[in-house]
Structure 1
Amino acid sequence: MRQNPSFALTDTAELRRLIARNPWVTLVSHTDDGLVASHYAVLLDDERDDLTIVGHVGKPDDLIHGLGERELMVVVQGPHGYISPGWYGDVASVPTWNFVSAHLTGVPEILSPEENLRVLDRLVAHFEGGMPQPRLMWERPNDEDYVRRLERGTVGFRLTPSTVVAKRKLSQNKTDEVVETVIAELSGDAAWANPALAAEMVRARDARRPR
C-alpha cells in the first residue's frame, strides 16, 4: 500500500482499535505457485499490548500458505466508502474513496493444540458475547471430544508484525468546510450514507484540533 505522510496511521492505540473493530481479515502469502489469499477472523493477543494478533486457519490452508515458514501479510480493512466530487463545491475535482486500512506483515508462530484451543475459545466467546443466549465452545451440546476434533482440523497462529503499513485517508487534505460537508453527507439517510465512515472522519477531525 503506497504511503502518504498526510494519511499515515502510526498510533498503536488507534491501530489496535482498528483491528479490534474489524476482525475479519485477509491473509496473503507469496508461494511457489503464486499469490494466495484466505479470509479469517483474528483477535488481538490478550497477553500483549502491541499489534500481535492470534487466529487460526482451517486445514489445509496452513500448507497452502506455508504457515510459519514464510511471510504472511494480514490486511485489515476498516470503514470505507465513495466520496463524490459534488461535495467539494464548485471547484475542479474528481471522485475518491475514503478508507482506513492496515497491512501487518511477519512470519507467524504456530500455536500448540492447547494454545489453539484457547484462541478458538476466545473467538467463540468474543462473537457470541452479544447473543441473547450465547453458545460457548465448551458448553452443551458440545462435548470435549467434539471440540478437540474440531481443533485438529485447524492450525492456530500468533503474528507479531515486523512491518506495519497503515493508512487513514479521511479527507485530511481538504478544507474544514469540505470535511464537514462530507461528514454530513455520509451521516444522512441517502443511499450513499455511511455512518461508520462518517464516525471515523469525525474521530480524525477531532484528533487534529488543538486541545
Structure 2
Amino acid sequence: MLRTQKFASDNADEVRRLIRRNPWVTFVSMTPSGLVASHYPTLLDEGDTTDISLLTHLGRPDEEYHALGASEILAIVQGPHAYVSSSWYDEGDVIPTWNHVTAHLYGVPEILTDDENFEVLTKLVNHFERGLPLGRTLPQDDPGVRAAARATVGMRLRVSHFEFRPKLSQNKPEHVRENIIRELSGYGPYAHDALADEMRRWGEQYPEDLERGRGYGG
C-alpha cells in the first residue's frame, strides 16, 4: 500500500466500520521459514471498547505455519476498490488511478483456549446466518461439532497500530469527483456502486479530507 500522507487517515471508527463490512481478512506472518499468508472470516470484537480487536479462527496446521504468538502479524482488510479512468477527468489530466479503502492492522496474536475458540466459532456462525429465513446455529453439546471445532485454533488480534488509506480521489476538484461517482454508479465496465457510495459518503462526512487532499494537487 502506497505510504503517502495524501490519503492517509487515523480514523479508528472508520477502520472499525471497514472491518464490520468486509469480514474476509488476509493474515500475513514473517516466520523463520519465510512469509506465510492465510485468509479467514473475521469479526470485530465489539466487546473491546478501548482498542481495535479482531476475532477469528485458523484451521490447523495454519497456526504452526504462522508461528502464531511468537511475533507481530499483519491483517489486511480490503474494502471496495475499482479502476478510475482518466477519461472521467478534465481535459489534459491523463493519468488514471485505482481508488480503494484499505487498512493494514498490526499486532501480536493471542491464541484462545478451546472454549474461547468455540465461542468465537459460535459468534461467526451466528453473524453470517443472521437474517437468513432458515439460519442455523452451532449445537453447543454436539460431539461432532465439538470435534470439528478442535481442528481449528481461535485467535484474538489486539491491534497495536494501523495504516488506513481511504483513497477516494480527495485530490481532485469537486466536479471531477462528482463525475467519477456518476461513472462508477453507471453501467460501464468499471461500474462499482459500493465504491461510488463510499466516495459520496466520505465527501459528505469528511469534507476536511477533501480540502486537505486537494492541497496536494495532481
Q: Specify if TM > 0.5.
A: yes
Pick the aligned partner of 1:163 from 147, 154, 161: 161
Rounded Cα–Cα distance in structure 2 between residues aligned with 1:35 and 1:108: 16
After TM superposition, give the deviation of residue 138 of structure 1 in Å: 1.4
Moved more, 116-125 or 185-194: 185-194
Match status 1:72 vs 2:70: no
* Native 8 Å contact 1:79 1:196 kept in 2: yes
| Corresponding residue to 1:147 among 139, 145, 151 | 145
**Larger displacement relative to structure 2 (130-139 or 155-164):** 130-139
- The aligned residue for residue 118 of structure 2 is 117
Pairing 1:38–2:38 present: yes
- Unmatched 5+ stretches in structure 2: 209-218
Identity value in percent: 49
Residue matched to 1:127 = 128
Match among 187, 190, 199 for residue 188 of structure 2: 190
1:43 offset after TM fit, Å?
0.3
CA distance in structure 2 between the aligned counterparts of 1:162 and 1:46, rounded to whole angstroms: 17
Q: Is the 8 A contact 1:81 1:194 kept in 2?
A: yes
For residues 21-60 of structure 1, the aligned pairs below 5 Å read: 21-49=21-49, 50-60=51-61
Aligned position for 2:63: 62
For residue 101 of structure 2, what is the amino acid of its counterpart? V
CA apart distance, 1:162: 1.3
What is the distance in 2 between the residues matched to 1:173 and 1:109?
A: 39
Question: Which residue pairs with 1:12 in the alignment?
Answer: 12
Equivalent residue number for residue 211 of structure 2: none
Q: What is residue 81 of structure 1 aligned with on the other side? A: 82
Q: 3-state SS of the aligned residue for 1:146? A: helix
Q: Which amino acid in structure 2 is aligned with residue 208 of structure 1?
A: Y
Query: What root-mean-square deviation, in Å, do the aligned CA atoms of Structure 1 and Structure 2 show?
Result: 1.3
Give the whole-Å Cα distance in 1 for the aligned partners of 2:206 and 2:107.
31
Query: What do residues 136-171 of structure 1 show as CA deviations (whole Å, max 9, x unaligned)?
Result: 1118xxx52012101110000101111201101000
Work out the CA distance in 1 between the residues paired with 2:14 and 2:121. Answer: 25
Q: Which moved more, 1:75-84 or 1:130-139?
A: 130-139
> Which moves more between the two structures, 184-193 or 80-89?
184-193
In structure 1, runs of 5+ residues without a counterpart are none
TM-score, length of structure 1 as denominator length:
0.94
Counterparts of 2:90 and 2:174, CA distance in 1: 13
The one of 198, 203, 216 aligned to 1:200 = 198
How many Å separate the matches in 2 of 1:130 and 1:198?
26
Runs of 4+ in structure 1 deviating by more than 3 angstroms, as ranges, are none
| Cα offset, 1:71, TM superposition | 1.4
3-state SS, counterpart of residue 5 of structure 1 = coil
Distance in 1, matches of 2:187 and 2:164, equals: 30
- Rounded to whole Å, the distance in 2 between the matches of 1:11 and 1:128 is 30
